[in-house]
Amino acid sequence: GAPNVSTATAVREQHGHDESMHPCAPPDVVVWPQAVGQVQELAALCHRCRVPMVPFGTGTGLEGGVNAVQGGVCFDLSRMDAIAELSLEDFSVTVEPGVTRKALNKHLRGTGLWFPVGTVGMRGV
């Protein structure tokens, strides 16, 4: 529905660039899935219709990876921000794709652990 889909120019332009030097290349539509099943359904639909899919996290990348150079559907994953499981014993955490480093560190506060910038290996649900 409307709160989870937008074709507004300003929203599309916001999702058509990151912090790189590349010019804005907005998608045709932005969607905000809130569950893995919704991502799967949207991806299957895009695949069947041969529509490009562009994942969007926070837009802070430096590579131009969110630029929708062929249009398509931007999957803004920011609303999928649950921290599913934390294992202090083996230093692992399972998160949804919208969890930011800052949110994870807030969750980890008081455990003696933190997730520093440049860490590899976040595992999503």
For residue 87, being part of any structural domain is answered with: yes
pTM score: 0.83
**Do 92 and 69 share a structural domain?**
no
**Do 68 and 37 share a structural domain?**
yes
Nearest to residue 80, comparing CAs of 123, 32, 29?
32
CA distances (Å), origin 52, targets 59, 72, 81, 115: 18, 5, 24, 32
* pLDDT per residue as tens digits for the range 45-72: 999 999 999 999 888 888 889 999 999 9
In the structure, what pLDDT confidence band is assigned to residue 120 with cuts at 50, 70 and 90?
low
Task: Give the mean model confidence (pLDDT) for residues 64-84.
Answer: 95
**Do 85 and 66 share a structural domain?**
no
* pLDDT per residue as tens digits for the range 18-52: 999 999 999 999 999 999 999 999 999 999 999 99
Domain that holds residue 8: 1-74
**Do 96 and 51 share a structural domain?**
no
**Do 14 and 65 share a structural domain?**
yes
Domain with residue 19: its CATH number is: 3.30.43.10
The DSSP letter of residue 23 is P
As for how many domains the chain has, the answer is 2
pLDDT at 105 over 70: yes
